[in-house]
A and B are shown apart, each in its own frame.
Chain A
Amino acid sequence: MILPWIPLLALLGVVVPLLTRQRGRRFCSLATAAPAILALLLVFSQVPALLAGDLPRFQLAWVPQLGLDLAFRLDGLSLLFVSLILGIGLLILLYAHYYLEAHEPFARFYSFLMLFMLSMVGIVMADNLLLLWLFWELTSLSSFLLIGFWSHWTDARKGARMALTVTGAGGLALLAGLLLLGDMAGSFDLGVVLESREAILADPRYPLMLVLVLLGAFTKSAQFPFHFWLPHAMAAPTPVSAYLHSATMVKAGIFLMARLHPAIAGSEAWELIVTLTGMATLLYGAWFALLKTDLKAILAFSTVSHLGLITVLLGIGSPLAILAALFHILNHATFKAALFMSAGIIDHETGTRELGRLGGLRRAMPVTALLTSLTAAAMAGVPLFNGFLSKEMFFAEAAASPLLGGLSWLLPVLATLGGILSVAYSLRLVHAVFFKPARKAPPKSPHEPPRLMRAPVELLAALCVLVGLLPVIAEVPLGLAVEAVLLTPLEFHLAIWHGLNLPLLMSVIALIAGVLLYALHAHLRQFGRQFSPMDARLIFEGAVQRLMTWSERLTVRLENGSLQRYMSWLLGAALLLGAIGLLQLPSLAGARPTQEADGILLLGAALMIFGALGTVATHRYRLISLLMLSVVGLVVSLTFARFSAPDLALTQLSVEVVTMILLMLALFFLPQKTPRESSAGRNIRDLGLAASLGMVVASLNYAVLTRDNHGISDFFIANSVPGGGGHNVVNVILVDFRGFDTLGEITVLALAGLAIFKLLNRLRLFMPHSDGEGRVWSPDRYPLILTSVSQALLPLALLVSAFIFLRGHNLPGGGFIAGLITAVALILVYMARGVEWTQQRLDFQYQPVAIAGVAIATLTGLGSWLFGRPFLTSAFGHFHIPAIGDIELATAMLFDLGVYLAVVGATLMILANLGKLTTPHRPSKEEKH
């Protein structure tokens, strides 16, 4: 149970600085370091178990359906990396404590730094591919925050964005690759994956998976041609560069290749891609490191170059090459972090990082000069430093690799060339800063940094020398790590002297030629200047800008704020899709015989078509258009009656009445005529679009009608009486079988009512006193006949609706229809008597009615839980009531009551509130009874 505490402590470290920032920087720095120190101690506490041959693992199911577990492991490889991450992280924290200016938000910086530490710890300890990927993405995000920490500075923002884009895109490729990999191995568990090598290599998707995973690794580890983000990420504060870009984040890609090595490496594709990419990166980075004049840019390109070196070793993949790769990871982390921190010190104390403005600093900063020289010697691979050991192993492996067949001699030659370049740029770095006389004075007069700011560099430089002199001390952690990658222990011995052999010769050549190259390097830079360097940032920013412009143009084209434009696009798309569907039918007419049409049907169809065309033809005269529309609505209702749907006919009829009253009321407040404003072209386009869609609809409808369908209705018919206790199948479907849908629908209805109530709230509209033709409205607002009839009709109508409601379960009717009839009857009274008169007598609000309806329906559904049944299970039984007789009652009726109330409430909420607009009583918040 110790393992999960390591990431958890790092997580704690994210919060600590934010909680302790009030107490000053010193306290905050110490408090932030505490969890990391504790985590490091926990890691070390596991070493004896590892040495004993155990593999500490921890597993907790997280999303088991996806195969995602919260699983951690601590094998030798994890141990090596997690110690690097926590150890160097602590040194960086100490360094940052002195590096940041007094006014900078240090707590936020620490928090980001710890977030990054957490994500790196997560990557190297994850025992599940998906979990690994999650942490992988977290490093991209946290490094974005860190690189862009000085967000007031454009370079920082752009550099951060570039790093995020490149590594984020690589992360997506990696996700695809890991999903494929997990699929091939049959599990996302790392233990399973590492042992499924045969299955993975034999899988036909192996090349695809390999490319995707390598894309992720190469983008993260800045391999050519994805290296360009790393130099631009140097806009970050130096502690960030020292931590992310030397020791940790850029090593994540390397770590991934090492981690998955047992499972996916060893194929010819792997060896070629990885080795050649690494070699290209090695030379490219080294060449530009020699040409750059900014200290951090030199270090960034040299990092690219060293990452390439490690990649070559992983590509060669022999046991000793793996050992060399891991050893170089360790060495590079030590000397490069130290060099970055030295560069930061120089920048901090002189105010510049430009080689042209630096020089002769060894007098002002003797200790820093010494430390930088030592670590640069390690970087150059000078004997007796740690870099020499791993570099010589690299030379040996490059010379021994048969990878390129007859051209294999190229590898050692290129490796030596890389070595020469690395000696040259290391020498230049030290010489130009500390020894060469200065041409210009730096902005600040240089002096040594605070004692403790230098301490991390001192420690790392000491390690460089110590490992260089006594390589034996690195054998134990390396042995564990190599065992984790090779899955078997490896016998090896690290020594300084291997006798006179080829690698030593290569080292000597590299040293001598490197010094010569530096001597000639002024000419070289002259030569290099002839090639205008491709500025990756310009290209990248240009691409980003172009993308933005294109998408902006596209957005403006598609989305110009015109509803008509949207509608025509939408309809065009629907037309296209519908037409494609129809084209695939072998013939329009199906096998089902058609029925004969009779005279009444012809008349009905003619009326409907007349009404529809009339609505369009007269649409500029809105009232007439509305009357035409009502013709269509009435015939629709008759159509339902003709084709055996009495429920529908009743519903349509009552809705039709309500809709027409509503539209007329609304029209009262709107212009009576539509101006003629569409151009002829516009009209023709719309006509064409509408007519084609109409044809598609007609064809589809005909195609369906002439084909046999095998619906699910037999089930409803068979189960209506035994299962729902009702003989009216339509009603039983509504309140029982599909009760949940109905509940949703009455909720929508009630919501529409409430929304309309709010829309009408405090609406101020011009109230016309004449119609469209200029005729003044009659002062006799409430005609006598209507008044008398409506009053007499009300109780009758209520009685009818009660009857329709009660019989609804067994005969045509039900809550919807009854509700609409009640609403129509009440509206009639409103119309005949006016809002004021009616409100005095019907003194209540309709909103609570609608809400009560939805509530009753919901509670009826919930009621079935009390009996341990699923939501909306209905129950029914027969009851004998004296004098009335045997009746059947079902809980569905209670549900139907909810429907009834919701319909009445919502309809009247809409119409009564709209009606109120015609009176001085307008609905508003103040109006409370």
Chain B
Amino acid sequence: MESLYAVTTGVLSACGLFLTLRGRTFPVVVGLTLLSYAVNLFLFSMGGLTTDGAVIVDGPSDYADPLPQALVLTAIVIGFAMTAFAVILAMRARGDLGNDHVDGEDNREDRAS
């Protein structure tokens, strides 16, 4: 189970990172979203993977680690804010510059090798 989880996180990160290296804004935003899924899963697993663990304090039992959960919960919301900001910035860039290349101008790829 642990290896499966780790492989999934790795694939998600790799896919997200590949997309953030693209030259157009929208795939970069999609890549960031994918990457934040991976990061959240990674952080979440820092407390170990607990199946059927208790989360509500009600007498002694086997608890799931609450701290990573709390951290990831805010990370999800912040991640949304960041994605939103990035995508709106991309729209604004397209509106003001007339293209959706990450560097604000077309045909930059040759120079950026």
Contact = CB atoms under 8 A, between A and B. Distances in A.
B42 A697 contact: yes
Interface stretch (A361-369, A560-568, A884-892): A560-568
Contacts of A655: 76-77, 79-80
Nearest to B109: A677
B107 to A, nearest CB: 8
A563 B102 contact: yes
Given A647-B73, A662-B83, A697-B9, A619 B30 contact: yes
A674 B26 contact: yes
Categorize the interface residue count of chain A: 35 or more
Nearest to B25: A670
B22 to A, nearest CB: 7
B38 to A, nearest CB: 7
Interface stretch (A319-327, A441-449, A521-529, A723-731): A723-731
Nearest to B28: A563
Interface residues of B, number: 88
Given A765-B95, A914-B88, A738 B2 contact: no
Interface stretch (A161-169, A204-212, A333-341, A638-646): A638-646
Interface in A432-482: none
Contact of A644 (B25, B64, B76, B83): B64
A665 to B, nearest CB: 9
A689 interface: yes
Interface string B34-78: 100110111011111111111111100001111101101110111
Interface stretch (A179-187, A593-601, A790-798, A871-879): A593-601
B29 A663 contact: yes
Contacts of A564: 21-23, 102-103, 109, 112
A705 B67 CA distance: 16
Given A709-B46, A753-B81, A693 B13 contact: yes
A716 B91 CA distance: 43
Contacts of B56: 727-729, 810-812
A702 interface: yes
B69 to A, nearest CB: 5
A659 B80 contact: yes
B18 A699 contact: no
Contacts of B77: 651, 655, 745, 749, 816, 820, 903
Given A616-B18, A690-B21, A745-B74, A705 B81 contact: no
Interface in A595-644: 595-597, 601-602, 605, 608-609, 612-613, 615-616, 619, 622, 625-626, 629, 632-633, 636, 639-640, 642-644
| Most chain A beta-carbon neighbours within 10 Å: one of B29, B38, B52, B84 | B84
Interface stretch (A213-221, A351-359, A409-417, A679-687): A679-687
B22 A571 contact: no
A690 B64 contact: no
Interface string B6-28: 11111111111111111111111
B80 A633 contact: no
B20 A567 contact: yes
Contacts of A645: 44, 55, 64, 69, 72
Interface of A: 560-565, 567-568, 571, 594-597, 601-602, 605, 608-609, 612-613, 615-616, 619, 622, 625-626, 629, 632-633, 636, 639-640, 642-648, 651-652, 655, 658-659, 662-663, 666-667, 669-671, 674-675, 677-679, 681-682, 686-687, 689-691, 693-695, 697-702, 704-706, 709, 711-713, 716-717, 720-721, 727-730, 733-734, 738, 741-742, 745, 748-749, 752-753, 755-756, 759-760, 763-765, 810-812, 816, 820, 903, 906-907, 910, 914
Given A602-B4, A734-B70, 5 more contacts: A608-B11, A615-B15, A625-B30, A699-B6, A752-B82
24 contacts: A562-B108, A605-B8, A612-B15, A643-B51, A648-B69, A648-B73, A659-B84, A662-B83, A666-B29, A670-B90, A674-B27, A678-B109, A689-B21, A690-B17, A694-B17, A702-B2, A711-B67, A713-B65, A729-B66, A734-B70, A749-B77, A752-B85, A756-B84, A907-B80
Minimum-distance CB pairs A-B, first 9: A698-B10, A694-B14, A562-B112, A644-B64, A702-B6, A690-B18, A644-B53, A752-B81, A729-B66
